[in-house]
């Protein structure tokens, strides 16, 4: 039940944040590929969604590996949020302090 609510919230968030004027929230298939799929969303749209989801749910998407997993579909995003909400979200904004620039 909780997850269904989350899925609905996320579909609304996607439509409003990405200004998808001709898409209805319920028209977004929860299991469908979110970016690079039928919605015509790309990786730049994903950046906006990353920031919105982080702000709304207090989670952190530290890098693209996590991002790919979390943003695979609305279902995947809901699962990711459920697992990390209020948890030990990392605040890695920089990556390793290594001097390896090669």
Partner 1 sequence: MIGLVTGGTKGIGLAIALALAKGGANVYVNYSSDEEAGERAVKELEAVSGFGRAVKADVSNPDDVAGMFQLIEKEQGRLDILVNNAGLIKDGLLMLMKDADWRKVIEVNLNGVYYCSKAALRLMVGNRGGRIINIISPSALLGRAGQCNYSASKGGVLSFTKSLAREVARLGITVNAVSPGVIETGLTEGMPEVLKKEFLGMIPLGRFGAPEEVAWAVSFLSSESAGYITGEIISVDGGLT
By the 8 A CB rule, do 59 and 80 touch?
yes
Torsion of CA 79, 82, 84, 86, to 10 degrees: 170
User: Helix/strand/coil (H, E, C) string of 13-28?
Assistant: HHHHHCCCCCCCHHHC
Regarding 95 and contact with partner 1 (CB under 8 A), the answer is yes
Using the contact rule CB under 8 A, the part of the chain among 5-13, 69-77, 78-86, 92-100 near partner 1 is 92-100
Euclidean distance between CA atoms 34 and 1, whole angstroms:
22
Euclidean distance between CA atoms 15 and 23, whole angstroms:
7
Using the contact rule CB under 8 A, the part of the chain among 2-10, 29-37, 41-49, 74-82 near partner 1 is 41-49
> Closer CB to partner 1, residue 27 or residue 40?
40
Q: What is the DSSP letter of 36?
A: S
Smallest distance from the beta carbon of 57 to partner 1, in angstroms? 14
Using the contact rule CB under 8 A, the part of the chain among 4-12, 32-40, 43-51, 70-78 near partner 1 is 43-51
> Closer CB to partner 1, residue 29 or residue 66?
66
Residues 14-33 that bind partner 1 (CB under 8 A): none
């Amino acid at each position: 039940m909780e997850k269904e609510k989350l899925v609905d919230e996320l579909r609304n968030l996607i439509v409003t944040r990405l200004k998808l004027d001709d898409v209805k929230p319920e028209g977004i298939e929860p299991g469908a590929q979110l970016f690079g799929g039928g919605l015509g969303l790309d990786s730049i749209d994903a950046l906006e969604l990353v920031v919105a989801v982080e702000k709304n749910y207090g989670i952190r998407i530290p890098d693209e590996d996590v991002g790919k997993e979390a943003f695979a579909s609305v279902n995947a995003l809901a699962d990711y949020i459920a697992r990390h909400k209020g948890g030990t979200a990392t605040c890695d904004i920089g990556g390793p302090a290594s001097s390896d620039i090669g």
